[in-house]
Chain A
Amino acid sequence: MYKKTNKFVENKRLKLSNSQLKWETIFRRILIAMSILLVVIILGVLATLIVESMPSIKSLGIGFLWGKVWDPVSNIYGAYPFLVGTLLTSFIALIISVPFSYAIAIYLGEYNPKGWLSDLLKNAIELIAAVPSIIYGFWGLFVLVPIIRTFEMKIGVAPYGIGVLTSSLILAVMIIPYAASLGITLIRMVPSPLKEAAYGLGATRFEVIRSVIMPYTRSGLFAGVLLSLGRALGETMAVTMLIGNTSAVADSIKNAIFGPGNTMASVIANEFTEADHTEYLSALIELGLVLFFVTVIINLIGKRIITRFTND
């Protein structure tokens, strides 16, 4: 039955394959075009930020970065208050979050990698990352701020409630999942012969973790902390709602931590739509440019470390 129709089928097939060859080429070109589009987007982002912040770069120069005064009304722009605010909130958050991230990584990576309890905890951590930052901000504004205010009254500092510390606390919670989930994966990658060798020598679990697992995963865990830091630096909404948005430099360390402040991201969020003249707007965009560079570099370093770690 086939043999009869064979010639006909053959011709049809040949014709079809000719048109398909054309589609194949088109398809490959689409894939390439979309990959190029990505590069174009990134270059476009960079170009836009640079071009739009040019007026500010030209008139303020590099001194912009350590100018201590940000006063749009008098047309004075210095980024120093926001650099300090960003670094301060991020590092406090990081310090708070690291013990948690490491504990989760060690617990789910080594002590309890399987089972319902570990699944539950893992889902909880994913959920922490999934909750939108606006919700953390809103909650912080109505629940955390009063608590902090009471606390500040007790220890005798100005009871703002909102401020750098409050933002850092919320930030800490928000960034824990990033370092934690990477840490879990890395600790699970520690080859069991290494661990068994140590157990064989009579080491306790703690000693194995301290002298085998930790040294083995150190660079990877550090990369996880960098990724967390990248998140913290660029986080906008929760911080904007909680930091108090003051562009003045604090007069003491105590006020810098407990008092209100501003980060690069939060000042952009607050003032971008209000910026009514070129220089003001372009100074804000220059902040965005700085933020872009800092977060990109931190992220890329983190990713590089991870790639090197997982390829070894």
Chain B
Amino acid sequence: MELNIGLRNTKSAIFKGIIVFFAFLITVPLIVVLGYIIKQGIFQVNWHFLTSVPAPVGETGGGIINALVGSFIMVMVAAVVAIPVGMAAGIYLSENPRSKLAYYSGLCVDILQGVPSIVVGIVVYFWIVKPLGTFSALSGSAALAIMMLPIVIRSTEQTLKMLPDSLKEAALSLGVPYHRVILKVIVPCGFAGILSGIMLSIARVIGETAPLLFTAFGNPYLSYSLTKPMESLPHLIFTYATSPYDDWHNLAWGASFILLMFVLVLNIFTKVLTRKWKVQL
């Protein structure tokens, strides 16, 4: 160790300066991106924008109702499938951590978490789109559900693992059957954690584009049918952002703003809920 204390302290201070600089520099791109999207998008949004379908090239105006409805339907259908499946698997993993099945399905959760979303799109294309012979909202939902699963599973598993065993024993000793112990005691006690996982998974898939490219595809018209192609916010942004028309770009900026707001609100909501619902153990 050098003995020159002054020099060593200076070194330490310089190092701290560098660390602080880099740590806070990361907020610059965030602020720039968010600021730009808000600036470009906020003035596009009005009642007409939210309630009409996109206008054809050459016509001004038009909106994104098809994408709003599409994203909502597809994410909801995905959630309805992924939440119970994910919670069940998460409960199993937390309840039987040492079983062989838990090892393999835990491994599969890890794998699923790392699978690129585009690969999920390819696979669902062969599972649903090809057999049905058409792009469909249903296949889009399936892809999104697969993307949601690992988040729901891990958050359920981790939340439940933190609950003390004594809670389960208390209920079991009262003669409460296992399924009611889990559903009426364990899950409600871990509700905040599980809910935040669900919200985060929704926030994540609502912005996913890649898995929808070959599944839900896109649709310039308003559609409610699960068996027909369906537009979604991120896919609409992709299509219109990469088009050569200024009007369409504006539509995409507005859609980006809305999508960003959804994601922001979901994230903030998650934080607030987690704090409010936290059960005191």
Chain A residues close to B by CB (< 8 Å): 13, 17, 20-21, 23-24, 26-28, 30-39, 41-42, 44-45, 48-49, 52, 99-100, 102-104, 106-108, 111, 121, 124-128, 130-139, 141-143, 173, 176, 201-207, 209, 230, 233-237, 241, 265, 268-269, 272-273, 284-285, 288, 291-292, 295-296, 298-300, 303
* Cα–Cα, bound, A279→B263 (Å): 39
Contact assessment for B214 and A138 in the assembled complex, using a CB-CB cutoff below 8 Å = no
Residues of A within 8 A of B15 (CB): 205-206, 209
Q: Is B43 an interface residue (CB 8 A)?
A: no
Residues of B within 8 A of A21 (CB): 177
Q: Is B37 an interface residue (CB 8 A)?
A: yes
Q: Is B58 an interface residue (CB 8 A)?
A: no
Q: Return A18 CB to nearest CB of chain B, in Å.
A: 10
Q: Interface residues of B, CB < 8 Å — how many?
A: 88
Q: Return A222 CB to nearest CB of chain B, in Å.
A: 16
Contact assessment for B178 and A134 in the assembled complex, using a CB-CB cutoff below 8 Å = no
Q: Is B170 an interface residue (CB 8 A)?
A: no
Among candidates B23, B30, B127, residue contacting A127 with C-beta atoms closer than 8 Å? B30
Chain B residues close to A by CB (< 8 Å): 1, 8-9, 11-12, 15-16, 18-27, 29-30, 32-34, 36-37, 85, 88-89, 91-93, 95, 101-102, 104-105, 107-123, 125-127, 146, 149, 153, 175, 177-180, 182, 203-204, 206-210, 213-214, 217, 234, 237-238, 241-242, 249, 252-253, 256, 259-260, 263-264, 267
What does DSSP make chain B's interface, helix, strand, loop or mixed? helix
Among candidates B23, B25, B207, residue contacting A133 with C-beta atoms closer than 8 Å? B207
Q: Return A236 CB to nearest CB of chain B, in Å.
A: 4
Residues of A within 8 A of B12 (CB): 204-207
Beyond A135-B33, A138-B237, A143-B36, is A296–B115 a contact (Cβ under 8 Å)?
A: yes
Among candidates B21, B101, B207, residue contacting A35 with C-beta atoms closer than 8 Å? B101
Q: Return A120 CB to nearest CB of chain B, in Å.
A: 9
Among candidates A31, A124, A204, A285, residue contacting B88 with C-beta atoms closer than 8 Å? A31
* Cα–Cα, bound, A24→B178 (Å): 6
Contact assessment for B260 and A45 in the assembled complex, using a CB-CB cutoff below 8 Å = no
Q: Return A128 CB to nearest CB of chain B, in Å.
A: 5
Among candidates A17, A207, A272, residue contacting B1 with C-beta atoms closer than 8 Å? A207
